[in-house]
Structure 1
Amino acid sequence: MPADLPLADELAALTVRIADLLLTHETVDEAVSALAQALKESVPGALGAGASLMDTRGRRTSTAATDPTILQADQLQYDLRQGPCLTAWAQQATVKMVDSRTDHRWPAWTRAITDLPLRSAISTPLSTPDGAIGALKVYSPIPDGFDSKAIRLIELLARPAALMLANAQARDAAERLSDGLIGALGARDAIGTATGIIMERLHVSHDKALATLISASRRREVALHQLSRDIIAGGEL
């Protein structure tokens, strides 16, 4: 992206790109990965970038990093339960780390990344009207590696990205629910059909046939719906 674009034009171009990336990826994980890569390419001075979605307890639900070094730094934050990304998410505010060697807010984490080529970072929350759903972060190999324009760019980018990711999460949840319902209905239908087959084979009542099916499932240590499908396919009890 040309460095001489005014911030408003740069943001507009970047937002269009992000929207296209997030809306065309089929899963949340793919969208988060695309967002991290776009962030790295868009912020001057960034060694790498990451994007994470978190639940209400701060546990990751989806995360992506552009480089192994960034992935390691992020993993250390989650393992140690401290770091600029988690602080940005918890406080719903942008966090700037000027120099990892002089910043004492996250002592265990900054000690852990001493051997990594990371000296400064910006983390900003992915905020929606219902609260923060995660955070974006960029890292630099030099102290104070990001200027005020970079910080503003990340903050402005995070707003539409958060809304689009929240929509993607809702879409994925609805699809999982739909798949679960379809599976449950399929299992119920299979059990009902298998019960009917047993009624015909043994000349027993519905209740007796279902009890026989359940007993066979326990005896053979096979899931009830699986045994039902086996019987429908011609298998024996």
Structure 2
Amino acid sequence: MTRTDLPLAQELAELTARLADLLLTRESAEDAVQSLAQAAKEAMPHASGAGATLIDPRGHKTSTGATDEVVLEADRLQYEIGQGLCLSAWAEDRTQVIEDIETETRWPLWTRAVSVLGLRSALSSPLTTGGTPIGALKVYSDRPGTFTDRDVRILEMLARPAAVMLANVQARDAAERASASMSEAVSDRDAINMATGILMERERLSPDDALLRIVSLSRLKQRALRDIAQDLVTGRSVL
């Protein structure tokens, strides 16, 4: 039995289970988005390619994944021109379908630009979590009228759990970056405090004067304050 012969509920259950394994084991949002794109293409064997994009509240893409170069180019044109079915799926929080790119009139600048890529039909669903769209999932075909109501249903059902999982991956990424930044800040502060103490003892300076000396050296050498401090702590010359 092929995937398209499976009852829809069974097919969606299998896709969701596979999606959870793919997305939640990925180390970053970029990896997870790439995996989602591959899962979308495999869910629709008649698709020429698929992609997934995370978009911030200002409409700027933050992570993107695609199964084929033609998808990357079609998406690049959307972001460059500022219109297209994926941006509309995200902005309007609803699925967009193109039966034939050559006769589509909703996004004239984008469809005219993308027509040379050999794509003829497309389908895009928003990735929405907590009532907020965070991106879009899309599939393309080189044949017109390819996508059925069943395809729309599958993509929409695939996008729902994917959005929640991707939001979790994004939150994990943000937490890791914040933790790394905090650790770096603590390390910098410790180095500066140690360097200040060294100058206080070596040159008989007050705490304020010792810190001003480090700041002056940083400006003179056009180097970061932490680098000057670390040189002082390790005994390297900063003059």
Q: TM-score, normalised by structure 1?
A: 0.98
Q: In the alignment, residue 224 of structure 1 is paired with which amino acid?
A: L
Cα drift, residue 18 of structure 1? 0.5
Cα drift, residue 130 of structure 1? 3.9
Displaced runs of 4 or more, over 3 A? none
Aligned to 1:224: 225
Rounded Cα–Cα distance in structure 1 between residues aligned with 2:17 and 2:118: 32
1:68 matched to 2:49? The reply is: no
Give the % identical residues. Answer: 54
1:114 matched to 2:124? The reply is: no
Asked if structure 2 preserves the Cα contact closer than 8 Å seen for 1:44 and 1:150, the reply is no
Aligned to 2:204: 203
1:113-132, aligned counterparts within 5 Å?
A: 113-132=114-133
Cα drift, residue 205 of structure 1? 1.4
CA distances 1:4-61 after superposition (whole Å, capped 9, x unpaired): 1101000000001010000000000000001001111111310000000000111100
Moved more, 83-92 or 113-122: 113-122
Aligned to 2:55: 54
1:78-97, aligned counterparts within 5 Å?
A: 78-97=79-98
Rounded Cα–Cα distance in structure 2 between residues aligned with 1:215 and 1:57: 40
Q: In the alignment, residue 114 of structure 1 is paired with which amino acid?
A: S
Cα drift, residue 185 of structure 1? 0.8
Rounded Cα–Cα distance in structure 2 between residues aligned with 1:59 and 1:219: 39
Asked if structure 2 preserves the Cα contact closer than 8 Å seen for 1:128 and 1:163, the reply is yes
Aligned to 1:181: 182
1:5-44, aligned counterparts within 5 Å?
A: 5-44=6-45
Q: In the alignment, residue 158 of structure 2 is paired with which amino acid?
A: L
* Unmatched runs of 5 consecutive residues or more in structure 1: none
CA distances 1:120-177 after superposition (whole Å, capped 9, x unpaired): 0000000111400000000011111111111100000100000000111111111111
Asked if structure 2 preserves the Cα contact closer than 8 Å seen for 1:89 and 1:125, the reply is yes
Aligned to 1:154: 155
Moved more, 12-21 or 210-219: 210-219
> What is the root-mean-square deviation of aligned Cα atoms in Å?
0.9
Rounded Cα–Cα distance in structure 2 between residues aligned with 1:168 and 1:101: 37
Q: In the alignment, residue 213 of structure 1 is paired with which amino acid?
A: I
SS in 2 for 1:118: coil
Number of equivalenced pairs? 237
CA distances 1:163-201 after superposition (whole Å, capped 9, x unpaired): 000111111111111111111111011000000011111
Rounded Cα–Cα distance in structure 2 between residues aligned with 1:47 and 1:117: 10
Rounded Cα–Cα distance in structure 2 between residues aligned with 1:2 and 1:82: 33
Aligned to 2:134: 133
Q: TM-score, normalised by structure 2?
A: 0.97
Asked if structure 2 preserves the Cα contact closer than 8 Å seen for 1:101 and 1:110, the reply is yes
Q: In the alignment, residue 145 of structure 1 is paired with which amino acid?
A: T
Cα drift, residue 74 of structure 1? 0.6
